[in-house]
Chains A and B, each alone.
Chain A
Amino acid sequence: MASNILDNIDLRTLGELLQQARKKCGMTQDDAAKVIDASRTTMVAIEKGERRLKPTELIKLARAYKRSVSDFVRPRPVAQPFEVQFRAAMKRSGEEEEQIKPAILRLEELCQNYLELEGIMDAPLPQNYPREYEVTDMPIELVAESIAVAERQRIGLGDGPIPLLRDILEQDVGLRIFYLEMPPKYSGIYSYDERLGGCIAINGKHLEERRRWSLAHEYLHFLAHRRKPVFDFDNQYQRIPESEQLANAFPKYFLMPTSGLLKRFNDMYRTHGKFTPTNLFTLAHYYGVSVEALVYRLEEMKLLPSGTWERLRDRGLKVRKVQQELGLEEIPQRTDMTPLHYQHLAIEALDQGLITEGRFADFLNVDRLEARRIANALREHSSGIMEEATHFDLRQVQE
């Protein structure tokens, strides 16, 4: 069935994984040594990859660290550790390091899973990446708008709203986008690796308008600062660097392109002879942005007088209440932690018997019961065709 894995495994990698797991659960090398009835020096040698482990020792350590044995011995695709990528960014941010690190490591794990699923299914994620945009020493607003226009044209988005931004960036560009839990002040994480490509995590706890804005922000990092990993949080900079200024400017042009917005504003204005708060709310909902973001955009376009947002706010405007009164439904959204393509690879692998149900649950980060619910939902989603029936090639079907 399998040759003896512990005789052939890279002991250094195994040692590093064991060390990470031990530290994560707060154990010392002394504690770990006691688990396997060995001395601390033996434990040091194991973690350095200088001493071979017996299977029973590995099992005891995995149990003590509350981890699966397969976490240590399963072959995994090699990518640059995110901890290394983000080292400089984390050093700069001091106390934030501890807050954001779990989300960064989670993103890394999910991206690794994604590559593993692609390998199992022999179906790499199709990438439609543009060349990195050259932005050095250029006027920020002009560059932001020009990249937004170019990208809309490249992906074929016209100048209308982008209803399911996440799905478009995942499927039409080939980014790996996850919605993760993060502390409230964090909006997103961006990373790039030659094997993984662009990887983004968005704070899943934020409202959809804000998630879309953050996604566009991180997308700009991919377009213009591809190899510079970042994480973004409120009030991050005393003096905002140009790269962040550009990423801050990009979402409004990408989500609300000038030509389309101008046309829709004029249509509303001509129809009603005025532009009312109801029009404002309807238009914000149409573009999937916050009312505040739309007002600022219209102010910049000189379509509304400056200070409109502050006046509305001073009058006690309650955005959620008005949205409810106007019957504006929630913006279409998909809030799953993992990308659609990732989920489809996982269900195909399960149905083809390439992974177990337990592994499927791990890939989706849920327990077995929830995994069964998701599996049934995904199968139903495949146009009601069940199980093997979804795996044939429609182009090969003869009449």
Chain B
Amino acid sequence: MQIAHSHVVLDACCILNLCASGQMLAILKSIPAQVVVTQVVQDYELNTLQRLDKEDNEGAIQFETAIAQGLLKVVDFESEEEAESFVNYAAVLGDDGESATCAIAIHRGWAIATDDKAAISFFQQGAPYLQVISTLEIIKHWSEEAGIDSSALRDTLNEIRVKGRYMPHKSHSLRNWWEAAMNRS
């Protein structure tokens, strides 16, 4: 996975999946760009992350640790233009998290990481020149970079499926890779 931009903004779907994986810190370290999340997503999704693992609250802890270690930077609007785009997008998408992610990525020329069909189509319509990557591309890249064995990869994907309740769409470009990785013993 190559990222043609200095930064990549993770949206709420992607954050949720990475927190559910149980390997968030290692995965973030493997991404070849500065990873960021918007203040809006952080404010809205922390409660959801706390529900990921009721006993030890691991999802939320990983998220906060990633921020503390600088693996994940929290960014907010820095100009009236960014704020204006955010408000405009919120009127169309009806979703503050995706709108903030798109506004900041577009104004700063950053890539975006999302699995949300509506957000992808909105983003590609407004900024076709910016890169969109998915949770599975990030996981695949991490597994190859770090030489993760097949059973550890399967466990990670399984955590995302069970705790994060995420499985890729049938038309997802990495659906076959995901199925093969999930079925490998």
Residues of A at the B interface (CB closer than 8 Å) are 1-6, 9, 54-56, 58-59, 63, 68-70, 73-75, 350-359, 362, 367-369, 372-373, 376, 386-388
B142 close to chain A: CB less than 8 A? no
Task: Name the interface residues of B119-163: CB closer than 8 Å to any CB of A.
Answer: 119-122, 125-126
The answer to whether A2 touches B45, judged by C-beta atoms less than 8 angstroms apart, is no
B residues near A3, Cβ cutoff 8 Å = 88
Task: Name the interface residues of B72-93: CB closer than 8 Å to any CB of A.
Answer: 77, 80, 83-93
Binds A, one of B23-31, B60-68, B96-104, B177-185: B96-104
Query: What 8 A-B pairs come out closest when comparing CB atoms?
Result: A353-B117, A372-B165, A55-B83, A2-B88, A70-B90, A73-B91, A358-B95, A356-B95
Q: A1-B125, A4-B84, A56-B80 are in contact. Are A358 and B12 (CB under 8 A)?
A: yes
Convert B167-185 into 0s and 1s, putting 1 for each residue whose CB lies closer than 8 angstroms to a CB of A. 1011100000000000000
In the bound complex, how far is the Cα of B121 from the Cα of A56, in angstroms?
A: 26
B105 close to chain A: CB less than 8 A? no
In the bound complex, how far is the Cα of B13 from the Cα of A73, in angstroms?
A: 23
Neighbour of B97 across the interface among A63, A351, A358, CB < 8 A:
A358
Task: Name the interface residues of B99-121: CB closer than 8 Å to any CB of A.
Answer: 99, 116-121
B44 closest partner in A (C-beta): A358
B residues near A63, Cβ cutoff 8 Å = 43
- Identify 19 new A-B residue pairs, CB closer than 8 A, beyond the known A69-B96, A353-B121: A1-B92, A2-B91, A54-B83, A55-B80, A56-B83, A69-B86, A70-B90, A73-B87, A355-B118, A356-B94, A356-B95, A356-B98, A356-B119, A358-B116, A362-B95, A368-B16, A368-B45, A369-B16, A373-B165
Residues of B at the A interface (CB closer than 8 Å) are 12-13, 16, 43-45, 47-48, 51-52, 77, 80, 83-99, 116-122, 125-126, 164-167, 169-171
In the bound complex, how far is the Cα of B90 from the Cα of A2, in angstroms?
A: 10
A residues near B47, Cβ cutoff 8 Å = 367
Chain B interface, >50% SS class: helix
A residues near B43, Cβ cutoff 8 Å = 63
The answer to whether A55 touches B52, judged by C-beta atoms less than 8 angstroms apart, is no
| Number of inter-chain CB pairs below 8 Å | 120
B83 closest partner in A (C-beta): A55
Q: A55-B83, A367-B47, A387-B170 are in contact. Are A2 and B89 (CB under 8 A)?
A: yes
A68 closest partner in B (C-beta): B96
The answer to whether B116 touches A55, judged by C-beta atoms less than 8 angstroms apart, is no
In the bound complex, how far is the Cα of B92 from the Cα of A74, in angstroms?
A: 7
Q: A353-B121, A356-B118 are in contact. Are A75 and B48 (CB under 8 A)?
A: no
The answer to whether B12 touches A368, judged by C-beta atoms less than 8 angstroms apart, is yes
B residues near A68, Cβ cutoff 8 Å = 90, 96
B residues near A373, Cβ cutoff 8 Å = 165
In the bound complex, how far is the Cα of B120 from the Cα of A349, in angstroms?
A: 15
In the bound complex, how far is the Cα of B98 from the Cα of A1, in angstroms?
A: 14
Give 15 CB contacts A-B under 8 Å.
A4-B84, A5-B88, A55-B87, A69-B87, A69-B90, A69-B99, A70-B96, A351-B117, A355-B118, A356-B95, A368-B45, A369-B165, A372-B166, A387-B169, A387-B170
In the bound complex, how far is the Cα of B85 from the Cα of A158, in angstroms?
A: 58
B121 closest partner in A (C-beta): A353
